Structure 1
Amino acid sequence: MTHQNSPRMQFVHAAPEVYKAMVQLDAAARKGLAPELVELVKIRASQINHCAFCIDMHIKDARAAGESEERIYLLSAWEEAGETYTPQERAALALTEAVTVLTDGFVPDAVYEHAAAHFEEQELAQLIAMILTINAWNRIAVTTRMAPGSYTPR
């Protein structure tokens, strides 16, 4: 019997071509987006998906990029955090939540239109790509039970 917290497999070794494609997708998705925004999106989606490995990784990356502790620890309650996040960041976080939890009314027009008001079309497309990419990473990490704590920012 596998212990609940024990990794099930090393995905990078079991599916190296998929892993490489995911890394390339991640790099392509982040182009043109502010690094701070990218990490906020990755952390928030990972919180929703209960992906401990990715939460740990992206909090470390956010800190390494200079993100404040306050903005990191208030992220799970961003809607109640007032002006802690910019209007553009709040629009991105709302879109992140809608795309991550598709079964909760899909992506409402109001959420999409709010994000479209804060991002040029190409930026919005990049943001959507970033959201889908972190969701894919979350699903890989949760399914294979990647353990948090070992990641060190580059």
Structure 2
Amino acid sequence: MTATAPSTAPVNYLDFASSALPALENVEEWITRTPLNQAFVHLLKLRASQMNGCAHCVKMHTADARKAGESNERLDHLVVWRHVGSFTAAEKAALGWIEALTCVDSQADYGPLRRDLRAHYSDDEITALTIVAGMINLWNRIQMSNH
């Protein structure tokens, strides 16, 4: 086994950001108190993690989704959610929003996405969905930066 050179070794974020990480955990706790369906929140986090290629988070959110009662069919179909009937129109709107905020495109028109969201969610819920997107993308980047 080859030793990692000190200059390329992973950063121990717990050592350097010990006060920041609990604050991020507080945001995660806030998400659990929103009116969003928490089983579906795991699917949203899973989809962003799939897109970002964060193997650790994919494994974790797949297990969390199963524990919350998500079916294997919905887990299997998540990567092709647009093309299957496994998800409701509301869920598809939320998945589109998560994807748009995960793979940011400077040319994207977010208006139609917000219109689709507002057909199913309140502005409070859209705010929560946006925070879910921001948090999972942050966690993915923290985790992936140490691969």
The TM-score bracket by the shorter chain reads 0.7 to 0.9
Deviation at 1:108, TM superposition (A): 2.4
d(CA) in 2 for partners of 1:101 and 1:127? 15
1:101 CA drift (Å): 1.0
The normalised TM-score by structure 2 is 0.88
Corresponding residue for 2:44?
41
Gapped runs of 5+ residues in structure 2? none
Displacement after TM superposition at 1:107 (Å): 5.0
* Runs of 4+ residues over 6 Å off in structure 1: none
CA RMSD of aligned residues (A): 2.0
State how 1:2-151 maps to structure 2 within 5 Å.
Answer: 2=4, 8-30=10-32, 31-81=34-84, 83-103=85-105, 105-145=107-147
- Give the TM-score normalised by the residue count of structure 1: 0.84
CA contact (8 A) 1:95 1:107 kept: no
Q: Answer 1 or 2: higher relative contact order, Cα 8 Å, separation at least 6.
A: 1
Once residues 15 and 137 of structure 2 are traced to their aligned partners in structure 1, the CA distance between those partners, rounded to angstroms, is 20
Which structure: larger Rg? 2
| Separation in structure 2 between the aligned mates of residue 75 and residue 12 of structure 1, nearest angstrom | 32
**1:41, CA displacement in angstroms?**
0.6
Q: For this pair of structures, how many residues does the alignment match? A: 142
Contact 1:29-1:126 within 8 A present in 2 as well: yes
Gaps of 5+ in 1: 146-154
